[in-house]
Homo-oligomer: A and B are copies of this chain.
Amino acid sequence: MNVQEQTGLKSEMLAMAKAAHDAARTLREAGNETKNRALNEIAAALRTRTKDILAANKEDISCAGLSGAMLDRLMLDDARLEAMAKGIEAIADLPDPVGRELARWQRPNGLDIARVATPIGVIGIVYESRPNVTADAAALCLKSGNAVILRGGSESNRSCRAIHEAIQEGLRAAALPQACVQLVATTDRAAVGMMLEGLDGALALIIPRGGKSLVKRVQQEARVPVLAHLEGICHVYVHQEADLEKARAIVLNSKMRRTGVCGAAETLLIDRTILNSHGLPILTDLKNAGCEIRGDQTVCTLFAEAKRACDDDWRAEYLDAIIAVKAVDGLQDAIRHIETYGSQHTEAIVTENSKAAERFLSGLDSAIVLWNASTQFADGGEFGMGAEIGIGTGKLHARGPVGVEQLTTFKYVVRGNGQIRP
């Protein structure tokens, strides 16, 4: 890209930012009805445009030349488009996250202070090959009153553009500005760099959605706040007072229900004293379900089919049918292991001892800690929050599932009758 092209792209991106800023102004004061109308019209447009979207997707697929999991991420079909439309309708059905009174109190001088939820402003979303992010992210931002600038992966560019056209149709039908949802049309990577710089202060927040390398790049280069999910190295700890049947069900479900989600368990910790009683049946379940077991010395001695784990295994986010298994010496040892190797995403303890459970729940500093439940509940829908844009693993603003409420900020509204400060 030469200097002239660079300058052209830059002014194009800044024009998008300006339009988004103005659209955000309108959207901030748009009522729930208007936003819902747009969402439902977008869902309808996705259905009427199914043919065009699938044709665009077919072209993307033939150009990308992908296979396996990569192809699966990119691929759309009737069922997936219908799921996309239904997802948007479900977001419309959520209560309006904007305008909620988060707190309200009176001061002795008579001032009435309210903390009220407001949209964040303009959000930038950078994602990879999943075209459905175009619709999901747009819908979540719209519902929370934020304008959004989307930048999808180059391999899904045609699909994203076709979906974006449906979104534009929905916005028009609800008389909302087209710039509420903009898609960066160019596949030039320089556009991402410009977004990470914040587009002259226009972007209030960047959300990366994709693999670890994308998220790392965004976290390292962004000059604006980032809300991101980096890794889910989730643990299940089977405590010596665990109920055997609960432990078997929870470990199997945490690991094997779906192995590719961030809430899937990656490491199993078992108290040394119950290796024979609990460890063996649990490992047998996993093995029978097709899971590879990588154990420490003790586990490998106990279970002949286990491979020997190396240090990297304790830090691995397999996202696959593999589990690292370690024998531990009680609760403190388990906590220490999780603190050392974990990613502060989601951890579960299985025990009938409530004191041990509470020590685990309070002792760990992960976004989600569970007692006697599967780590696969780490999901906005399962939390009752509706759709989510991801699971935040940072400490600021939001942690855990990021749904429409987490895409808002707040302001203080103070009502007085002439008060001045002494």
- Kindly report which residue of chain B lies nearest to residue A408, judged by CB atoms: B395
Interface segment, one of A52-60, A175-183, A362-370? A362-370
Check A412–B368 contact: CB distance below 8 A: yes
Q: A370-B414, A399-B411 are in contact. Are A107 and B223 (CB under 8 A)?
A: no
Contact B419 A411 (CB under 8 A): no
Contact present for B365 and A253 (CB under 8 Å): no
Tell me the nearest residue of chain B to A359, going by C-beta.
B29
Query: Is A394 an interface position by the 8 A CB rule?
Result: yes
Number of identical protomers: 2
| A308 contacts B by Cβ under 8 Å | no
Check: A134 CB closer than 8 A to any chain B CB: no
Distance in Å from the Cβ of A266 to the closest Cβ of chain B? Answer: 16
Q: Does A205 contact B (CB under 8 A)?
A: yes
Contact status B372-A418, CB under 8 Å: yes
Query: What is the bound-complex CA distance between A396 and B408, given in angstroms?
Result: 9
Interface string of A373-384 (1 = CB under 8 A from B): 110110100111
Which B residue's beta carbon lies closest to that of A226?
B225
Residues of B within 8 A of A49 (CB): none
Cα distance A219–B198 in the bound complex, in angstroms? 12
In the complex formed, the residue of B with least CB distance to A120 is B395
Chain B residues lying within 8 Å of A253, measured Cβ to Cβ, are 420-421
Task: Point out the residues of chain B lying under 8 angstroms from A415, CB to CB.
Answer: 357, 361, 370-373
Q: How far, in Å, is A295 (CB) from chain B's closest CB?
A: 23
Closest to A361 in B: B413
Identify which of A4-12, A243-251, A269-277, A318-326 touches chain B. Answer: A243-251
Q: Residue-by-residue, is A104-146 near B (CB-CB < 8 Å gives 1, otherwise 0)? A: 0101000101000010110000000000000000000000000
Q: With A204-B396, A220-B223, A382-B107 as given contacts, are A372 and B417 in contact (CB-CB < 8 Å)?
A: yes
Q: Which of B223, B369, B419, B420 is A412 in contact with, Cβ under 8 Å?
A: B369
The 8 Å CB contact of A205, one of B111, B395, B399, is B395
When A and B form their complex, which 9 residue pairs have the shortest distance between CB atoms, in order from nearest? A373-B416, A253-B420, A246-B418, A376-B421, A397-B397, A370-B414, A225-B396, A373-B419, A396-B397
